[in-house]
């Protein structure tokens, strides 16, 4: 065995297989002459197979007996795919979410780099093999071929050019190039071509604003922290206070001192707008990463970042793992959005991951929102984050006026439309002034349920315990399940009683669009919801249609409420506020307040003041009142008190063991077993038991989903070290095999359906 003092000849490798038994790293020997670093991907022998793995550490010695040691076969790239700092982060995450390290490491490399599918796009590049003078002489001598002479003249500055670039100057240059190559004057090579996504977004050049007082004050706190490489901020600025400008100024500062930045947005829909701002100021140094990019595009952007060519990364939550060099700052814009929680395995909260990463890499964290999450604002009050407040809009623009339309009196007055009289009138006025409007309808489709008038039967999805939504299509209408996508033709008679009184109830975005077109014929509308944005760049196209003014009224689900900046919008309507208020979740008040305040904030961002109309059947609901006054502080105080008194998170943990099985009886049985198991665990651990407030076996609100019967054991616990240990023990329990059922442990999940 080769052995030199201090030389690292062994390495720990996490083999990329997600399985209980391979959660720990394996030791391999590094063969003579092979150089490896931590974070590098390698091919290793594993059983009878060859597997990919990631080197997590190098060591000078090992306890593994020489007979058992096997050698690394080869590195998969020359560079470390995962920077060492990110390995530490992955280790922390694996511990916290109780999952194998291989799973968290996977988050950090693009899918294209696994399973040997890496595809590098190349293009032919031409460079000069002789000096400029010789090229010039040769060009002059090429009297028989104008093309060759033109190419030499083009290349004589010494810059290599792609064949494509050359063909823009010289038509059809291929034969001429071949001849030049044969003469030894130029060399043609395959060079790597990086796909640059977001190339189609219009670039917005720097408007060169002077910062407002509020912006400058916030920046004055962030910049020194950037210099020190330490600090966490919650930037609470009302809608239109110019938060983006603050972090763009901070990014400029970071870049000029050689650092990088990551800017996270809650939805892919918001990346084009952010990319156009950042590309406008910083050029191609801005990269974009999100899951709608093609695998190739993502891989190429990732490599630009890994090599340090791209130093500002804009993306949705997964971009928090971008392998930027010399991280200076992470910004989480609209930090209150629930999309920052990854509910799929491995579960993580992007805000926590970002905080951890910033601490490890000496970077600054900025969380920004007009409506911070209760959790983050509470942390800021406790001093975990420094609170930066911008209470005013830029240029002394007023916040929009919010009115409440009482839909009960509309109904009494005989108006059965989804639009109240006041909103109809406002829409007409807005359009006649040539301005734009946004209507929020937080449900897609045409009608939300179909039911029999005689017997009350509601058409439900056969796979889910959910009513089917009616969608109008290009030809016929279809009923669609919003959970599993199942579709069916609407029944003409009741499947239960055979009656003919099948009726359609409840409105969605399609219905709202139809009503708007009825009252405003000829006014072009655009609809933005899950159905209209599924194609590549679906969001971008609709937003561009609206921005350009080709569409005058934008109707959509909550995806239109956040972050968008359209100066021509002077009217915002919230069609059915009660949808958000009535959700069976302890967070529904928080989410409703955020949604209303955010969507209201889309109005009056230009020079003309905005107006907002909230339609509701509960005009006296305090949440509607807080949103109408856009009073975040008052809302926070009331909600914080309510959570403390009702023992809701962040004062407690809400957790559950979720059981899913295709067989209903099995699901029932497993739920009873799980409950018994929890109780037994608590009996044997009184120190845990003291921290548990309740354990109940109670079916979830949706008992059938995607063909699986669901049951749950709900647990409410205090927040403490002991409860963490309790959850760890429980999670081990869920990993043991169960016949015919899946059991998941969810601690404070984003939805509790
Ligand atoms: P927020 O994210 O806080 O809602 P934005 O960052 O979108 O607000 O800014 C609102 C609008 O004000 C944008 O159109 C932006 O270009 C403009 N703006 C921002 N800062 C300034 C400034 N200092 N002077 C003039 N306009 C500004
Ligand atoms: Zn379904």
Cα–Cα distances in Å, from 77 out to 3, 25, 114, 121, 666? 25, 20, 12, 16, 48
749: CB partners within 8 A, 6+ apart: 341, 343, 656
**Closest residue by CA, ligand 1 atom 25:** 209
- Measured on CA atoms in the order 448, 450, 451, 453, is the torsion positive or negative? positive
- Phi and psi at 107, nearest 5°, equal -60, -20
Q: In the prediction, which pLDDT does 3 show? A: 46
Contact between 72 and 28 under an 8 Å Cβ cutoff? The reply is yes
> 311: closest CA among 300, 322, 320, 298?
322
129 alpha carbon to ligand 2 midpoint, in Å? 65
Spatial CB neighbours of 42, under 8 Å, sequence gap ≥ 6:
11, 13, 28, 36, 52, 53, 54, 55, 72, 73, 74, 75, 76
From 213, 240, 246, the mutation candidate for ligand 1 (largest count of ligand atoms within 8 A of CB) is: 240
Percentage of the residues of the chain whose pLDDT score is greater than 70: 95
Contact 472, 510 (CB under 8 A): yes
Q: What is the mean pLDDT of residues 422-440?
A: 96
CA angle 228, 93, 742 (to 5 degrees): 160
Q: Which of 216, 217, 244, 372 to mutate to test the pocket of ligand 1 (most atoms within 8 A of CB)?
A: 244
pLDDT of residue 751: 82
Average the pLDDT over 307-327 and give the result: 94
Structure letter (DSSP) for residue 71:
B
pLDDT surpasses 50 at 1 = no
CA distances from residue 78 to 31, 35, 41, 253 in whole angstroms, order as listed: 15, 9, 9, 32
Which DSSP category does 467 fall into? B
Atom of ligand 1 nearest to the CA of 390: 3
Tens digits of residue pLDDT in 103-158: 899 899 887 777 655 566 777 888 888 888 888 888 888 777 888 888 888 888 88
Question: Any idea which residue has 């140094």 for tokens?
Answer: 285
* CA of 501 relative to ligand 2 center, distance in Å: 24
339, burial (CB in 10 Å: exposed 0-12, middle 13-18, buried 19+): middle
pLDDT at residue 119, rounded to an integer = 65
CB 409 within 8 A of CB 620: no
The SS3 of residue 580 is helix
Q: Tokens for 409?
A: 């009196």
Residue 210 CA: which ligand is closest? 1
Strand, coil or helix: what is 341? strand
Counting from 1 in the atom list of ligand 1, the atom nearest the Cα of 606 is 14
Measured distance CA(472)–CA(521) in Å, rounded: 19
How many whole angstroms from 89 Cα to the centroid of ligand 1? 34
719, burial (CB in 10 Å: exposed 0-12, middle 13-18, buried 19+): middle
pLDDT tens-digit profile of 629-662?
Answer: 999 999 999 999 999 999 999 899 999 999 999 9
Per-residue pLDDT band for 232 (boundaries 50, 70, 90) equals very high
Closest by alpha carbon to 706, among 752, 666, 739, 661? Answer: 661
486 CA from centroid of ligand 2 (Å)? 5
Predicted confidence at residue 212, as pLDDT, reads 95
Pocket around ligand 1: residues whose beta carbon is below 6 Å from it? Answer: 209-212, 215, 237, 239-245, 394-395, 565, 605
2 pLDDT band (50/70/90 cuts)? very low
CA of 706 to the centre of ligand 2 (A): 5
Please state the atom number of ligand 1 nearest to the C-alpha of residue 565: 7
The DSSP secondary-structure symbol of 260 reads: E
- Of 17, 50, 19, the residue nearest 28 (C-alpha): 50
Give the Å distance between the CA of 460 and the centre of ligand 2. Answer: 8
Query: Tens of pLDDT along 559-576?
Result: 888 768 899 999 999 999
Q: Which residues contact 408 (CB under 8 A, 6 or more apart)?
A: 617, 619
Which atom of ligand 1 is nearest to 207's Cα?
Answer: 16
pTM for the complete prediction? Answer: 0.85
């Amino acid at each position: 065995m080769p052995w030199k003092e201090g030389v690292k000849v062994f390495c720990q490798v996490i083999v990329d297989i997600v399985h209980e038994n391979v959660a720990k790293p394996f030791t391999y020997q590094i063969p003579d002459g092979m150089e490896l670093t931590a974070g590098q991907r390698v091919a290793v022998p594993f059983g009878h197979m060859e597997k990919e793995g990631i080197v997590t550490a190098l060591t000078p010695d090992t306890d593994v007996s020489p007979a058992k040691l096997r050698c690394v076969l080869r590195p998969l790239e020359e560079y470390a795919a995962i920077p060492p700092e990110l390995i530490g982060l992955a280790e922390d995450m694996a511990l916290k979410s109780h999952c194998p390290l291989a799973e968290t490491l996977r988050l950090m490399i693009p899918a294209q780099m696994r399973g040997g599918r890496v595809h590098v796009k190349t293009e032919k590049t031409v460079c000069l093999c002789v000096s400029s003078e010789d090229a010039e002489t040769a060009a002059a001598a090429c009297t028989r071929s104008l093309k060759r002479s033109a190419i030499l003249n083009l290349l004589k500055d010494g810059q290599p050019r792609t064949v494509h670039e050359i063909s823009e100057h010289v038509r059809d240059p291929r034969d001429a190039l071949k001849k030049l190559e044969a003469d030894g004057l130029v060399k043609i090579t395959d060079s790597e071509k990086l796909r640059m996504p977001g190339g189609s977004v219009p670039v917005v050049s720097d408007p060169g604003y002077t910062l407002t007082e509020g912006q400058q004050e916030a920046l004055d706190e962030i910049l020194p922290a950037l210099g020190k490489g330490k600090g966490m901020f919650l930037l609470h600025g009302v809608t239109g206070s110019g938060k983006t400008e603050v972090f763009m100024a901070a990014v400029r500062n970071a870049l000029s001192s050689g650092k990088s930045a990551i800017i996270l947005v809650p939805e892919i829909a918001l990346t084009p707008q952010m990319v156009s701002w950042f590309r406008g100021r910083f050029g191609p140094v801005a990269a974009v990463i999100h899951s709608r990019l093609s695998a190739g595009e993502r891989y190429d952007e990732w490599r630009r970042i890994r090599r340090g060519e791209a130093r500002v990364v804009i993306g949705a939550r997964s971009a928090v793992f971008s392998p930027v060099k010399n991280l200076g700052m992470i910004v989480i814009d609209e930090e209150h959005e629930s999309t920052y929680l990854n509910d799929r395995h491995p579960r993580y909260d992007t805000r926590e991951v970002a905080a951890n990463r910033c601490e490890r890499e000496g970077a600054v964290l900025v969380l920004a929102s007009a409506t911070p999450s209760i959790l983050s604002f509470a942390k800021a009050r406790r001093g975990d984050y420094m609170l930066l407040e911008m209470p005013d809009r830029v240029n002394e623009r007023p916040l929009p006026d919010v009115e409440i339309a009482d839909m009960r009196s509309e109904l009494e007055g005989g108006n059965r439309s989804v639009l109240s009289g006041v909103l109809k009138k406002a829409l007409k006025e807005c359009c006649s002034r040539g301005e734009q409007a946004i209507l929020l309808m937080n449900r897609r489709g045409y009608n939300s349920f179909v039911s029999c008038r005689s017997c009350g039967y509601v058409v439900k999805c056969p796979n889910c315990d959910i009513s089917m939504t009616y969608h109008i299509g290009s030809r016929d209408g279809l009923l669609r399940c919003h959970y599993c996508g199942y579709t069916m033709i609407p029944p003409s008679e009741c499947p239960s009683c055979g009656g003919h009184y099948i009726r359609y109830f409840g409105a969605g975005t399609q219905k709202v669009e139809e009503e708007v077109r009825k009252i405003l014929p000829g006014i072009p509308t655009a609809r933005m919801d899950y159905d209209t944005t599924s194609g590549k760049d679906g969001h971008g196209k609709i937003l561009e249609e609206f921005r350009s003014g080709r569409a005058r009224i934008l109707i959509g689900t909550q995806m239109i409420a956040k972050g968008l900046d359209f100066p021509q919008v002077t009217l915002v309507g919230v069609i059915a506020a009660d949808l958000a208020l009535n959700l069976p979740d302890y967070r529904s008040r928080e989410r409703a307040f955020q949604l209303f305040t955010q969507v209201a904030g889309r109005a009056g961002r230009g020079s003309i003041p905005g107006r907002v109309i909230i339609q509701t059947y509960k005009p006296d609901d305090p949440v509607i009142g807080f949103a109408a006054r856009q009073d975040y502080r008052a809302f926070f105080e009331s909600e914080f008190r309510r959570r403390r008194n009702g023992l809701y998170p962040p004062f407690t943990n809400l957790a559950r063991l979720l059981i899913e099985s295709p067989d209903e009886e099995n699901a029932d049985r497993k739920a009873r077993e799980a409950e018994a198991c929890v109780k037994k665990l608590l009996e044997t651990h009184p120190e845990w038991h003291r921290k548990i407030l309740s354990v109940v076996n109670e079916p979830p609100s949706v008992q059938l989903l995607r063909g699986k019967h669901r049951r749950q054991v709900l647990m409410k616990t205090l927040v403490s070290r002991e409860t963490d240990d309790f959850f760890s023990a429980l999670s081990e329990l869920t990993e043991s095999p169960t016949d015919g059922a899946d059991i998941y442990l969810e601690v404070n999940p984003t939805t509790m359906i």
